[in-house]
Chain A
């Protein structure tokens, strides 16, 4: 193999991020899911830090720090509190079983590879591989949001999707720091808004199962 250690470690970390996304899909308990999400963000921070080292771009360290502080520590702790206050630490009901979900996830990863690798034929190996993995993380995050009915796990899916975006942004060189910081903060704002919504939903419907909303809108199956 012609690639050096730098590529191997980047590959390892980005592949680890995809693996964490699969673990998110696999987990059926809320607390375990939050722990995996914290791990997801930690792997992202490591990956971004490694990119900073390899690319010689010091502003990426700040991105890594943001990922570490906000996503690996603050948001999981806050979600833990929310779950405790809502009193919903039981199992997540998945819409489809875990087996089919996993298969769909594999299909999505394959799709991301098939789409991304030919498109980025001219870029260097590191960026190509990062973009392919980032797209799979984004798609897997979407899959988490689709397959889960519980609002809290949908938030986790949304956040993991955003992690994929950050991975893509660090892979493609030249994303300005201002954009990254504003993305990070908008995510935080979104998180707060979703948190408030969670409590509103809970107040009105006595559940955070989003199918209650479907029924309320008259879309009952």
Chain B
């Protein structure tokens, strides 16, 4: 019975991330539009877009291989599983013990690998440019992400996200400069991985600057719907990751009742809203970088992670 219940809760978490992901994207777009004194699309617009794309027929290039057709499903599944592993409203859900942070990074990395392959599959120049840029950004973002994870794991003594969240919520954490460094580094990595503004502009189809959009230019219909859904899910995943590590309050403990879950979900919604507003504010305040400055930007994240780890070693060896 207990197993069944935890399975239900885990399924609830998976449904929750799926339901909330387009809403988060819509919220960010809406807040950005309001900040620019435009009215902006309604909050539910991403759902409508997805529905419209799902109803349209798929137009495939003549030389598209099976990889091109399979990739949307692959990356969607990998990202969804990764999102299900991050604690959103409760700690210690059923799946969270089966994989840790490094597994989440690996899932996202394999999704990106297949997307880059699919971008090159048709053989158009845009797909190639997009794929090469995406891989370049990833090759800087991933080491930075791993280093940040290592410094978090050094602090909390585990790479399990549930354990990390439990430790962060307790009073033992104290005041640590490494945590601040990790937060800034993680924010930079999240911006780069989701193709947000200083690195890539998600709203443009300007050929010189686009990264992610160039890679998926050949997709249409339900394939495109899945890819857009995946990028919304990825944004939600990173926001949840930051929220569960750095804002770990009101997460329902393992084996809690419905009341704790309700509080957890409410707190989660608040955290998502706050992060979306911050993201929109940041994106309106900053200009997009040239592609060749991106390595410096991500190098800063790498440096922050490394510095945080070094500082931890100092305070440990004392």
- A117 in contact (CB, < 8 A): yes
Closest to A120 in B: B318
Chain A residues in 8 Å Cβ range of B172 = 1
Alpha-carbon separation in the docked complex, A108 to B96 (Å): 39
Q: Which of B178, B295, B317 has the most CB of A within 10 A?
A: B317
8 Å CB interface, B266-314 against A: 295-296, 299-300, 302-303, 306-307, 310-311, 313-314
Contact between A113 and B296, CB atoms less than 8 A apart: no
- For chain B, what secondary structure do more than half of its interface residues adopt (helix, strand, loop), or is it mixed? helix
- What's the least CB distance linking A180 to chain B, in Å? 25
Does more than half of chain A's interface fall in helix, strand or loop, or is it mixed?
helix
Given contacts A8-B175, A15-B177, A109-B307, is CB(A99)–CB(B299) below 8 Å?
yes
Q: For chain A residues 64-120, which have a beta carbon within 8 Å of chain B?
A: 98-99, 102, 105-106, 109-110, 113, 117
CB-CB nearest in chain B for A100: B299
Give chain B residues whose Cβ lies under 8 Å from the Cβ of A125: 318
Taking a contact as CB atoms under 8 Å apart, the answer to whether A11 and B300 are in contact is no
For the complex formed, measure the closest distance between the CB of A122 and the CB atoms of chain B, giving whole angstroms.
Answer: 12
Of the stretches A18-26, A185-193, A205-213, the one at the interface is A18-26
- How many Å from the CB of B139 to the closest CB on chain A? 13
Does B176 touch A at the CB level, under 8 Å? yes
CB < 8 Å neighbour of B175 from A9, A105, A109, A129? A9
| Interchain CB contact under 8 A, A129 and B174 | no
Q: Is the CB of B107 closer than 8 A to any CB of chain A?
A: no
B181 at interface, CB cutoff 8 A: yes
Known: A1-B172, A9-B175, A18-B307. A129 touches B299 (CB 8 A): no
In the complex, what residues of B have CB within 8 A of residue A18's CB? Answer: 307, 311
CB of B98 closer than 8 Å to a CB of A: no
Tell me which of A3, A12, A106, A113 contacts B303 (CB under 8 A): A106
Give every chain B residue within 8 A of A26 (Cβ-Cβ). Answer: 296, 300
B303 and chain A: residue at smallest CB distance? A102
Report the minimum CB–CB distance from A112 to chain B (whole Å): 10
Partner-B contacts on A (CB < 8 A): 1, 3, 5, 8-9, 11-12, 15-16, 18-19, 22, 26, 98-99, 102, 105-106, 109-110, 113, 117, 125, 128-129, 132-133
Q: 26 A-B residue contacts at CB 8 Å? A: A3-B318, A11-B177, A11-B311, A11-B314, A12-B176, A12-B177, A12-B180, A15-B181, A15-B307, A15-B311, A16-B177, A18-B307, A18-B311, A19-B181, A22-B307, A26-B300, A98-B296, A99-B295, A99-B296, A99-B299, A102-B299, A102-B302, A102-B303, A109-B307, A109-B310, A113-B313
